[in-house]
Structure 1
């Protein structure tokens, strides 16, 4: 996903049977993949996508078609909070990543992971969340 819902992507010209799959740290070692179908997509499209991931040995969770799905949404929020902390001088970006890696046992620091996913993708997810919910907590940090 790029932050938009499957239904939003269909509205912008993507085929109606679209099923999105969520971000993963490493798709090869991921044991579970979340998928969401566009409102216009039928259950057969969802079943086909789930079957593909199951054939690859992955468990599948069908989730609601929401901006950012599960992992990208979570990463965008973590990266946004980390960016805001860095902007406020709470700690350096490197120290924030180190604290989250060693203190909370995250596989990567939120800022490093956001850089790897791409800042444009993180911003797009935050923008989609802000547009969908109108909540200021989704407003992107200037640091991003």
Structure 2
């Protein structure tokens, strides 16, 4: 089974959902133009299932990097954490949402600002990912921002 990571270990998600041979894909800004995808397999994934998933992704035009089973993989974990920090900056009045996104696009050459990216992904999903990351790592940096939690409860975006 191929699925996009939700911040849990592949092995935990497989156990929670009663799946075997679960292979998680990392987040991509735009899968249609992504050249490389990271994957991780749950414990017990057969070499055949892994090889079939890699072959499928390669036929679709992706280079594939296999990572150890880690919560959030690379891109998802980074984007969720950046969106969370940006939401805290917005809550504290450091800058407007538009200015925070502009700073990350112009200053760091990100394809999209972290707040816009979180809005596009869906704040409920970003909140779930952060909760899963915090549970897995036990680190404060993944504690969901009050503004993010508030906007999810209100059904609003970070730019609203």
Say whether the fold is shared (TM-score over 0.5).
Answer: yes
1:31 aligns with 2:35: yes
Offset of 1:132 from its aligned partner? 1.1
Q: Which has the higher contact order (CA 8 A, sep 6+)?
A: 1
8 Å CA contact 1:80, 1:141 repeated in 2: yes
1:120-131 equivalent positions in 2, closer than 5 A: 120-131=124-135
Offset of 1:99 from its aligned partner? 1.0
Offset of 1:39 from its aligned partner? 0.9
Q: How many residues align?
A: 144
1:98-117 equivalent positions in 2, closer than 5 A: 98-117=102-121
- Counterpart-to-counterpart distance in 1, 2:69 and 2:125: 18
Tell me the TM-score normalised to structure 2 length.
0.86
- Counterpart-to-counterpart distance in 2, 1:116 and 1:64: 28
Tell me the TM-score normalised to structure 1 length.
0.94
Offset of 1:77 from its aligned partner? 0.6
Residue 95 (structure 1) aligns with: 99
- Counterpart-to-counterpart distance in 2, 1:102 and 1:13: 41
Residue 86 (structure 1) aligns with: 90
- Counterpart-to-counterpart distance in 2, 1:14 and 1:111: 34
For the aligned residues, what is the CA RMSD?
Answer: 1.1
Structure 1 residue aligned with 2:71, among 67, 71, 74? 67
